[in-house]
Structure 1
Amino acid sequence: MTYFRSIQTTCAALLLTGIGGIGLADPLPSWQGASKGKIITFVEAVSEVGGPEYVTPADRIAVFDNDGTLWAEQPVYFQMFFALDRVAKIGAEDPSKLTSDALKAAAAGDMDGVLAGGKEGLIEILALSHANQSLEAFSADVAAWVADAKHPTTGYGFDQMTYQPMVELLSYLRDEGFKTYIVSGGGIDFMRVFAEDAYGIPSEQTIGSSLTSTYEVIDGVPTIMKGDTLFFNDDKGGKPVAINHHIGKRPIMAVGNSDGDFEMLEYTTAGDGPRLGVYIHHTDADREWAYDREGHIGVLNRGLDEAETRGWVLVDMKDDWNRIFTGDSQQ
């Protein structure tokens, strides 16, 4: 029975990937190659009622990093582009708020000057652009920015630089009874503005880093105010902690792109029963960016070294994706 079930599962994967020209709908049309088959085989196995690897829908939880996994992250995290634009706007309205060289550099769009300010300068930029305002005001600023801002290299809107193959994967998983979550080092309040429109992931399933916040009644209106002190850093070992805190269950599937996601994949795949870890490897310098072991963003060393021995799927963007950005189909 095991042999015949293996044949059935393999045939199902082949049909879904379109091999042989059979006309079943392909749930992942922007995918190709071995990684596609491995993902489909896993999803089919855990959703086959009565099968040896069946997982109840309540436990079909998949977690995803955001930057570099669901949308691009070069040349800097997109949230930093928002912060720079926000500082420039604030500085234009009130130059007296640009109290440091780092803030002045941010307002001028001078990335070298921003980087020269180091960690302290970045904290100043994030504080001025993100803190000491109501959550409603901050969310409105983010929504306006997402609607209008363009990436300096591609010219796409930032919401057009989500990865089409990943949008398909999220939809496919939900169709198969999975609950999908973002677990990212990015700001939780920042991502919650666009995550549902971009990925179909609602606010309550979006987990990220956060600043302190307070409850205040302002002019008779109960209000959440954003502070300027880091409350939780949702990166590396913080990701499993956040998963436990927000979800309360160990996922059965985790997808990331850097060593900042290693602990999330490790935690996920250490559980009992069927598990899948997936790394997105940035290998396409022509359609996106090629980077892994070196750089300032998305460094992938341990993940590359250990993915094979741990049984994790390593997705080669150049070979495994026939399309990159959602915006590619809108041109």
Structure 2
Amino acid sequence: MASDPLPSWQETGPRAALLDFVARVSDPDHADFVPAPERIAVFDNDGTLWSERPTYFQLLYARDRLNQKAGEDPALLENEVMRAVAEGDWDGAFSGGYEGLIGVVTVSHSGMTVEDFQTDVRDWLAGARHPETGRRYTDMVFAPMLELMALLRDAGFTVWIVTGGGVHFVRAFAAETYGIPPERVVGSTGPIEYRTEPGPPRIFKLPGLEFMDDGPGKPVGIDRQIGRVPIFAAGNSDGDYAMLEYVTSAPGPRFGLLVHHTDAEREFAYDRDVALGALERGLIDAEGRGWCVLDMARDWSAVWPER
């Protein structure tokens, strides 16, 4: 007998619908069969593939690097948003929206080559620990979502990450953590520049934000980099609403999945009234749009992989 492809998924939630959808679209004898090149699945990252509390893990990296640089240049913390990030005041950090965080990203993410930045990210991930769980951040990926991505790949899907996080940040660990190569990561981007001096030719990261891959930006990013409308989309917040809407409104068999963070005991519980990762419109509209809402506390027997 074949092993269970989704061992961490309880029978109470979207498990049956997921298995049915995957079976239908991958069966050449079924009316809903979708050819392999069109069998594309997209996943948000923060809050969908790994945790996002007390804030996005990329911002925790930015905080650590900001504090390092502020030790050499204390004037950096004269800016209110910079100071809030340095102190871990995430409500204050988000008071000016994403635009207010551009300065933080500029300080921590630019002025170096892409290779040097990604090496630094990997080094940080290897040593940093979550302030509440004590886990490495890459140990806080969701075991059931790893199972789901494996199921999709086994069924001939091409799996992509479509994230509001920085594309170079996520590409630094996506292959090792999720089995997703860097060319299949769509994310927010800053300006970059090709330089031949000093040293060998390299791509350098420059200050600023060029493209925000969140909200309505996600369908744009999908079109720019994937070039096809996926047939499966998973997210966890209203920042993913446009992506799920775009994917599931197209003709043919489609699947939309929302991760609802309801498990305060094993992970975190939140939805509407939070500064980041809020899920309100998605909860209201999910039934009418035919999206499955996953209740983390009810529908998963495990959250993170065993260490």
Question: If the length of structure 1 is used for normalisation, what is the TM-score?
Answer: 0.88
Deviations 1:182-209 (A, max 9, x none): 0010000000000111111100000100
Identity of aligned residues (%): 45
User: What is aligned with 1:299?
Assistant: 278
Query: Are the aligned partners of 1:30 and 1:323 in contact in 2 as well (CA < 8 Å)?
Result: yes
User: What is aligned with 2:158?
Assistant: 179
Structure (1 or 2) with the larger CA radius of gyration:
1
CA 1:67–1:84 in structure 2 vs 1: closer, same or farther (change >3 Å)?
A: same
**Inter-partner Cα distance in structure 1 for 2:77 and 2:293:** 45
SS in structure 1 opposite 2:207? strand
Quick check: 1:77 aligned with 2:49? Answer: no
User: What is aligned with 1:196?
Assistant: 175
Quick check: 1:89 aligned with 2:65? Answer: no
CA 1:59–1:117 in structure 2 vs 1: closer, same or farther (change >3 Å)?
A: closer
Where do 5+ consecutive residues of structure 2 fail to align? none
Map of 1:1-331 to 2, 5 A cutoff?
A: 23-33=1-11, 34-92=13-71, 94-95=72-73, 98=76, 100-102=78-80, 103=82, 106-107=85-86, 109-111=87-89, 115=93, 118=96, 122-326=101-305, 329-330=306-307
SS in structure 1 opposite 2:195? strand
Q: How many residues align?
A: 304
Query: Are the aligned partners of 2:91 and 2:275 in contact in 1 as well (CA < 8 Å)?
Result: no
Where do 5+ consecutive residues of structure 1 fail to align? 1-22
Deviations 1:4-53 (A, max 9, x none): xxxxxxxxxxxxxxxxxxx4310010111231110000000001122111
SS in structure 2 opposite 1:229? coil
The AA in structure 2 aligned to 1:88 is N
Which protein, 1 or 2, shows the higher relative CO under an 8 Å CA cutoff with sep ≥ 6?
2
Shift in Å, 1:225 = 1.0
**Inter-partner Cα distance in structure 2 for 1:221 and 1:265:** 42
Shift in Å, 1:57 = 0.8
The AA in structure 1 aligned to 2:26 is S
Shift in Å, 1:137 = 1.4
Structure (1/2) with the larger helix percentage = 1
The AA in structure 2 aligned to 1:167 is L
Query: Are the aligned partners of 2:218 and 2:240 in contact in 1 as well (CA < 8 Å)?
Result: yes
**Inter-partner Cα distance in structure 1 for 2:199 and 2:51:** 41
SS in structure 1 opposite 2:206? strand
SS in structure 2 opposite 1:39? helix
